Structure 1
Amino acid sequence: MELMNQFPQALTIAGIDSDGGGGMPIDLKTMMAMHVYGLSVITTTVAANSYGIIDSHALPIAFIENEFKALTADYQIRACKTGLLDSKALINTVVANYQRHDMGYLVVDPVILAKTGEVLLTPDEIDTLKERLIPLATVITPNYYEAEKLTGMQINDQHQMVVAAQKLRQLGCLNVMIKGRHDQNGEKQDEVSDLLLLESGEQVWLTGPYFQTNRKNGTGDALSAAITAELAKGRSVEQAVRTAKTYVDQTIKNEIIVGHKYGPINNWAGQE
C-alpha cells in the first residue's frame, strides 16, 4: 500500500439530509471529529428540517454502483457503516459490493423506525436486512425498538435485552450493541444503559446519564459512525464502542441551538 494512502479512511453508506441533522452529514462530521477521513456512498437525498422530512428521492442503483466502483478503486477503506437502506434492491446492492470489495469492518445501523415512531421498512425489507446484510456485520447497533422488530420479542428489562442480543448474534453478526430505552412511560429518567454483547459472549453494560433535551437528532448515526471511525483506527470493538458512547454523550450534553424543534447534536463538543 502506498504511504500516501495510510491515513485512516472510513465509508458511510447512507442518505443525505439537507438540514445536516441526520444521515450522512452527521456521519461525516463525526468521522472528522474522530480524526478519520470520511468517504460516502449516497443512497437517497432528503429534504428535511428540524420539524421533519418534506420529501426524499432515491438515487438510481446504477449510480450507487458507480459510487462504490469509484471509491474502492482509489481509497483504502478500513471500515464502513450503513444507515437507512429502504429497499430490497438497495440492501442487495450494498451486500454485493461489500462482498466484492475490501471495505474492512462493517457496522450496521439497522434503521427501521423514525423518531416519530413511523416504521420505515416493510416486513420484506426487514427480512432481507436480517438474511443478507446483518450476517456480514462486525457490529450492529439497533435501538431498543429496532431490536424488538428484528427479534420479534418485547424487551422490558435488562434480562430481555440480553436474550434479544443473543438472538441477534444468531443471525450471524459478530457483536451486538442494543441501545437502552430513552423513555420510561413519562417517568423521570436519570440514566440509560446500553448493552454490548461481544463475539466472545461477554456482556458489557454501558450506563450513562440521560439528557432531557430535544437536541438529539443524529445520535444513532453519530454512534455508529464513531464506532466505524474507531475501528478504522485499529481499536478493538469494545474500545470503539466505549469511545463512541462517550463522544455521543458529549454531543448531547453540550447543546447547540439550531432549528426550532428536534435539533441536531453538537458534533464540536465531542471532538478529541
Structure 2
Amino acid sequence: MHFGILQEQHCRVNQVVGAWGVGREFRCKEFAKARIRSSMAPPMVTDVGLPSAGRVLSIQSHTVHGYVGNKAAVFPLQILGFDVDPVNSVQFSNHTGYKTVKGQVLDGEQLWALIEGLEANGLLHYTHLLTGYIGSVSFLETVLRVVEKLRSVNPNLIYVCDPVMGDDGKFYVTPELVPVYREKVVPVSTMLTPNHFEAEQLTGRRIETEAEALQACVDLHVAGPSKVVITSLSINNMLTVIGSHVQSKGEAPKQFRIVLPKLHSYFTGTGDLMTALLMGWSHKFPDDLDKAAELAVNSLQAVLKNTIADYGEAGALPEPKAKQLELRLIQSVNEIQSPEIKFVTEKL
C-alpha cells in the first residue's frame, strides 16, 4: 500500500506542474495500475543465475592509493561471487613503503560502534569474517568480541585470519599482539594464513625446513583452526607454500606444498590478496584445500606477472620504488576468476 500512496502523490505533482503534457494522463493511469498491483503479492525477483557465495565482513587496513588490505581483498572476493562489507582498521593515503603516510586509525570502540549499528538494523548475518592488519591489542580484543557476536547470529561462521605481524624476521606491529593471537585468536579461527615469520611467532618454534613447517601446521591445528596455509616459506632459494587440512576431528591432516620460483621484485599486498583468494576458492572447494590453494597461488602469480609486465622486466628495476609495483588487480580480472594452472600442488 505504501508503494501505491507514493505513486499517487507523484501523479498529483505531475498534474500540477503539467510539464509532460499529453504524457501526464498516461503516467497517472500507469500509477493507478501500479497502486492496484501493490496490494497484491510482490513480484518474484528475477533469477539471473548469480547466487552470492556468501557475505563477508572484512576487517583490514585501507589505502586511498594502491592495493593492500581491504583494497587487495574486496575486489577479488567480489569477482569470486561474495558480497563484501569492509571495515577499515586504518585509512591511510598510501601504504607505509612510501616516504609520507597520512590518515586515521580506527580504535576498538569505533569498531564496536559499527557492529552495534549493523546489529540495530538486523545486518549481522555474515557467512564469513576476514581479518588482516590490526595495529593494537585493544582493537584485536574487540575483534574477538565481533567473532563472538557474529557466531551468536550464525554459529557456522567461517573465520579466516591473516595474523599480520611482520615478515623477514621483523615486526611491523607491537609484539604484544603475539600472545593475543596465539592464545585467543588462533583457537577461534577456521583458517589461518601466516607467513614464515608469523608461523614461528604463533608456534614459538624456529622453522628452517619443510618438515618443521609441517609440524608447525599440526601444532596450530591442535590450537584451533582446521585449515592452515603458511603462505611463504623460503627454502633453497625457492618459495614454498605449505598447506594442511584436518577434515575430521581425530584424523591426521592432509598436507601439501606448492613450490614457486622467487621473484626479484618487492610487492605490497600480496599476503592480503593471497588470503582473500584462499577464502574465495575454499568456499568453492570446501573439502579440497589442495585445489583451493593451487588456484589461489596461480591467480596471485598471474597478478604479479601482470604487475611486472606493466613496468618492464624485473631485471630493469634493480631497486624498484614502492609506487612502481602496486598490484595490477583491475588488469587481472580474468586471471583472478579463472587462473591458468602453472604451479601444481604436491601432496605430502
Tell me if both proteins adopt one fold, taking TM over 0.5 as the criterion.
Answer: yes
Residues 89 and 228 of structure 1, relative CA distance in 2, 3 Å threshold: same
- Cα distance in structure 2, aligned partners of 1:38 and 1:164: 31
SS of the equivalent of 1:22 reads coil
Q: Is the 8 A contact 1:135 1:171 kept in 2?
A: yes
Give 1:100's aligned residue: 149
**Secondary structure of the corresponding residue to residue 86 of structure 1:** coil
1:138 matches 2:190? yes
Query: Structure 1 stretch 260-269 or stretch 82-91: which is displaced more?
Result: 260-269
Q: Is the 8 A contact 1:195 1:203 kept in 2?
A: no
**How many residues end up aligned between the 2 structures?**
265
**1:224 maps onto 2:275 in alignment:** yes
Q: Which amino acid aligns with 2:106?
A: L
Q: 54-63 or 9-18: which moved more? A: 54-63
Of 321, 328, 336, the match for 1:271: 336
Offset at 1:30? 1.7
Aligned equivalents of 2:58 and 2:287: distance in 1?
19
- From 239, 255, 261, the counterpart of 1:192: 239
More divergent stretch after superposition (136-145 vs 163-172): 163-172
Deviation at 1:128, TM superposition (A): 0.8
CA distance in 2, matches of 1:230, 1:48: 28
Higher-Rg structure is 2
Q: After superposition, give the CA deviation of every residue in 1:137-157 in whole Å (9 maximum; x if it has no partner).
A: 111011111111222221111
Q: Please, which moves more after superposition, 55-64 or 163-172?
A: 55-64
Change over 3 Å in CA distance of 1:208–1:147 after alignment to 2: same
Match of 1:42 in 2: 88
Letter in 2 for 1:193: T
Q: Which has the higher contact order (CA 8 A, sep 6+)?
A: 1
CA shift for structure 1 position 133: 1.1
Deviation at 1:41, TM superposition (A): 1.5
Relative distance call for 1:127 and 1:75 in structure 2 (3 A) is: closer
Distance across 2 between alignment mates of 1:183 and 1:253: 22
Percent identity, aligned pairs only, is: 18
Asked whether the equivalents of residues 219 and 248 of structure 1 are also in contact (C-alpha less than 8 Å), the reply is yes
Indicate the residue corresponding to 1:243 in structure 2: 295
The RMSD of aligned alpha carbons is 2.9
C-alpha deviation, 1:194, in angstroms: 1.2
Alpha-carbon distance in structure 1 between the residues aligned to 2:287 and 2:62:
29
The answer to whether the 8 A contact 2:77-2:277 is kept is: yes
Query: Which stretch shows the higher mean deviation, 18-27 or 68-77?
Result: 68-77
**Residues in 1 aligned to 2:96 and 2:90: alpha-carbon distance in whole angstroms:** 18
Q: Residue 160 of structure 2 aligns to which amino acid in structure 1?
A: V
Match of 1:29 in 2: 75
Matched residue SS, 2:184 = helix
CA contact 2:144–2:185 (8 Å) conserved in 1: yes
Q: Output the amino acid matched with 1:109.
A: D
Paired position in structure 1 for 2:57 = 11
**Shift, 1:81, TM fit:** 1.0
- Aligned 8 A contact 2:203 2:220 in 1: yes
Question: Structure 1: how far apart are the matches of 2:175 and 2:117?
Answer: 32
CA 1:60 to 1:143, structure 2 compared with 1: closer, same or farther past 3 Å?
A: closer
| 5+ long unaligned stretches in structure 1 | none
The answer as to whether partners of 1:11 and 1:77 remain within 8 angstroms in 2 is yes
Determine the C-alpha separation between the residues in 1 that align with 2:277 and 2:125. Answer: 18
Contact 1:10 1:228 in 2 (8 A): no
SS of equivalent to 1:173: coil
Range 2-11 or range 36-45, more displaced: 2-11
CA displacement, residues 187-241 of structure 1 (integer Å, 9 cap, x when unaligned)? xx4x432111111433432324325242532111011112223345573361433
The match for 2:130 is: 81
Q: Select the structure that is richer in helix.
A: 2
Supply the distance in 2 between the matched residues of 1:166 and 1:234 (Cα, whole angstroms).
21
Distance 1:41 1:236, change over 3 A: farther
